[in-house]
């Protein structure tokens, strides 16, 4: 437990405020347990299915309340005060606006696509491109909503307006990133985070993102190394010392050929040191690790350079630990999912088999095919939704939970004297809540 201040009290020892000495170092505790979260996620997910998705606004609200209350800087929980009704309202508003945009624009794009290019892909591409700016816009608005509904010690957080500015910058930085073949990616990461952080408030205190973007390059090391490994392996195996021992005049051996030989029980003897091929999965796994590492270590580096008057942050987040959480969490989620699905399929097979004992199989098959099409679809739909539910619950329990916990426990405020000078800020009233993000399915999840 990093909750060093925990006395017998569930809240921080109040003596610190008076003494003032220890106040300078504020650690973040995480107090939730997996069990209650599992049931909360399961229950709310189940209601979501029962209500054809309407309850998801309540589900999101309740899960956030839970997570927020588990994160306790200085022993006091964050509080999420978002309202499900306002989320539902926001969704309706977003639907009203987006339905015209998406429907009409899609139709026109398809028309142009088929009239001018005689193909659909142009239309799909354009339709996708048209949604991208909205996507960034919605991301910023959603963040503004969540921060505006988050409190700590009774004081509100907040994010200033600026969603379109964010969308324009995001598009520009993305263009530069693509043009520079990814070399300017850290610049994009940093500047977008700076844009958001510099508009973030806690009460009357404005946060500032310090530091410079080249400092993020060290977070790219595992990714770059894996990329070099991949390139090196490709060069070695394909060019310098080809795996296929055939002369250059002959065709390069095909993957299918190798599989074919293995299936026939022949060892592909023509290969020279084929174990070198293992470098490829290694490099690909490295790339995945590198991507996770980059995302989270950037958060750590930038957290260490965030400050406000008399407040500083520190983070000891471990990129390796986060990657391990992802690996284990995904393994458990997919394993449970696979077992569940297999059990279900077995159940269906068993039902058929049992029926077959009493009558001829053709008759049983007929029962199935005689079901009205809509009923079959409905059953399959319900099945799909339950798989979806199970996966969501496990994802919450085994990925989001440990991530949040690690994030909370590795964060601290080495300097927090500035808190004494902070006062409340006004409520951020905006109608559509995170409706756009919800409607565009950004899956911002928590």
Partner 1 sequence: MSIGFNGLGAQFFDGDRPVGQEVSLHIASGMLQVGLDDGDLHRWPVSEVRRVPDMAGKPGAVLRVISDPLARLYIEDLGLLVHLPALTKRAPPKGRGRLLAWAVAAVGAVALQIGVLMPLLADNLAGYIPAKGERALGEATLGHIREALDETGLSPLKICDGSKGIAAMAQMSARLGAEQRFRQDVTVYVLDHDMINAFALPGGFVVLFRGLIEAANGPDEVAAVLAHEIGHVISRDPTRNALRSAGSIGVLGLLLGDFVGGAAVLFMAERLISAQYSQSAESGADAFAHDILAQAGISPGALANMFETMRTKNGDSSGVTAHFLSHPALAERIETARNAVDQSVDYTPSLSEPDWRALRGICS
Residue 256 neighbours by CB distance under 10 Å: 8
Of 29, 27, 84, nearest to 54 by C-alpha is 84
**Window of 31-39, 215-223, 229-237, 328-336 that interacts with partner 1 by CB under 8 A:** 31-39
Scan for tokens 């006004």, then name that residue: 426
Cross-strand bridge partners of residue 158:
201
Q: If we measure between CA atoms, which residue out of 46, 114, 29 comes closest to residue 382?
A: 46
- Matching residue, tokens 């060290």: 218
For residues 284 and 223, give the distance between their C-alpha atoms in angstroms, rounded to a whole number: 10
- Among the listed residues 85, 132, 252, 379, the single contact to partner 1 using CB under 8 A: 85
Quick one: tokens of 425? 């800020």
DSSP lists the bridge partners of residue 307 as 208, 312
Stretch that binds partner 1, among 62-70, 158-166, 178-186, 332-340 (CB under 8 A): 62-70
Looking at 109-117, 159-167, 332-340, 341-349, which segment touches partner 1 (CB under 8 A)?
109-117
Q: Which region among 114-122, 256-264, 282-290, 352-360 touches partner 1 (by CB under 8 A)?
A: 114-122
Touching partner 1, residues 319-348 (CB under 8 A): none
Task: Pick between residue 189 and residue 412 the one whose CB is nearest to partner 1.
Answer: 412
Pick the closest to residue 395 from 322, 328, 341, 329 (CA basis): 329
- With CB under 8 A as the contact rule, the residue among 57, 66, 190, 294 that binds partner 1 is 66
The distance of Cα 289 from the centroid of its chain, to the nearest Å, equals 15
Please, what is the minimum distance in Å from the beta carbon of residue 6 to partner 1?
Answer: 8
- Give the bridge partners for 80, in sequence order: 150
Please say which residue, 254 or 376, places its beta carbon nearer to partner 1: 376
Query: In the chain, helix, strand, coil percent, each to 5?
Result: 65, 10, 25
Q: How far is the CB of 101 from partner 1 (least distance, A)?
A: 9
In 260-287, which positions are buried (b, 16+ CB within 10 angstroms) versus exposed (e)?
A: ebeeeeeeeebbeeeeeeebeeebeebb
What mask, x for binding partner 1 by CB under 8 A, covers residues 132 to 171? -------------------xxxxx----------------
- Which of 5, 28, 32, 271 contacts partner 1 by CB under 8 A? 32
- Give yes or no for a contact between 171 and 118, defined as CB atoms under 8 angstroms apart: no
Q: In what order do the strands lie in the sheet with 78-80?
A: 78-80, 150-152, 155-159, 200-202, 205-206
How far apart CA 368 and CA 328 sit, in angstroms, is: 39
CB of 104 to partner 1, least distance (A): 7
Q: Which of 263, 269, 362, 373 binds partner 1 (CB under 8 A)?
A: 373
Angle of helix 163-179 relative to helix 185-197, nearest 10 degrees? 170
Contact set for partner 1, span 386-425 (CB under 8 A) = 388, 419-420, 422-424
| Cα of 441 vs its chain's centroid, Å | 12
With binding defined as CB under 8 A, does residue 206 bind partner 1? no
**Residue count of the chain:** 446
Where does this chain touch partner 1 (CB under 8 A) — which range of 141-149, 170-178, 340-348, 370-378?
370-378
Binding-site member from 57, 136, 201, 202 for partner 1 (CB under 8 A): 202
Question: Quick check: 99 binds partner 1 (CB under 8 A)?
Answer: yes
127 or 208, CB closer to partner 1? 127
- Provide the minimum distance between the beta carbon of 408 and partner 1 in the complex, in angstroms, as a whole number: 11
d(CA 288, CA 272) in angstroms, rounded, equals: 28
Closest approach of partner 1 to the CB of residue 91, in Å: 8
Q: Does 10 bind partner 1 (CB under 8 A)?
A: yes
65 binds partner 1 (CB under 8 A): yes
Q: Which of 5, 27, 37, 294 binds partner 1 (CB under 8 A)?
A: 37
Considering only the stretches 26-34, 177-185, 234-242, 324-332, report the one whose residues sit in contact with partner 1 under the rule CB under 8 A.
Answer: 26-34
């Amino acid at each position: 437990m990093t909750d060093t201040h925990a006395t017998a009290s569930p809240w921080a020892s109040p003596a610190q405020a008076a003494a003032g000495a220890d106040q300078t170092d504020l650690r973040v505790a995480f107090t939730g347990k997996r069990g209650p979260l599992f049931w909360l996620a399961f229950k709310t997910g189940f209601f979501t299915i029962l209500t054809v998705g309407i309850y998801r606004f309540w589900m999101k609200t309740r899960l956030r309340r839970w997570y927020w209350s588990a994160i306790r800087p200085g022993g006091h929980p964050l509080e999420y005060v978002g309202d499900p009704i306002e989320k539902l309202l926001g969704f309706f508003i977003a639907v009203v606006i987006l339905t015209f945009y998406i429907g009409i624009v899609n139709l026109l794009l398809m028309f142009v696509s088929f009239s001018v290019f005689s193909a659909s892909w142009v239309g799909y591409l354009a339709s996708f491109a048209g949604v991208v700016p909205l996507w960034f816009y919605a991301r910023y608005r959603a963040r503004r909503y969540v921060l505006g509904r988050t409190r700590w010690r009774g004081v509100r957080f907040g994010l200033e307006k600026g969603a379109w500015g964010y969308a324009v910058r995001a598009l520009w930085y993305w263009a530069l990133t693509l043009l520079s073949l990814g070399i300017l990616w850290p610049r994009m990461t940093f500047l977008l985070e700076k844009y958001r952080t510099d508009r973030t408030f806690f009460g009357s205190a404005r946060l500032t993102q310090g530091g410079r973007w080249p400092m993020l390059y060290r977070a790219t090391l595992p990714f770059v190394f894996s990329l070099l490994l991949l390139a090196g392996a490709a060069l070695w195996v394909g060019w310098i010392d080809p795996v296929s021992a055939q002369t250059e005049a002959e065709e390069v051996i095909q993957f299918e050929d190798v599989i074919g030989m293995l299936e026939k029980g022949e060892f592909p003897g023509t290969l020279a040191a084929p174990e070198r091929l293992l470098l490829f999965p290694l490099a690909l796994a490295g790339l995945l690790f590198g991507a996770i590492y980059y995302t989270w270590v950037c958060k750590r580096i930038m957290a260490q350079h965030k400050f406000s008057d008399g407040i500083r942050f520190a983070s000891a987040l471990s990129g390796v630990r986060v990657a391990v959480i992802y690996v284990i969490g995904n393994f458990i989620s997919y394993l449970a999912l696979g077992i569940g699905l297999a059990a279900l399929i077995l159940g269906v097979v068993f039902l058929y088999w049992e029926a077959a004992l009493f009558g001829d199989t053709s008759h049983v098959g007929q029962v199935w095919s005689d079901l009205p099409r809509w009923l079959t679809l409905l059953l399959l739909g319900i099945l799909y939704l339950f798989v979806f539910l199970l996966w969501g619950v496990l994802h919450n329990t085994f990925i989001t939970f440990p991530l949040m916990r690690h994030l909370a426990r590795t964060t601290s405020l080495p300097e927090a004297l500035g808190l004494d000078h902070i006062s409340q800020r006004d409520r951020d009233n905006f109608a559509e809540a995170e409706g756009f993000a919800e409607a565009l399915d950004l899956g911002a999840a928590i």
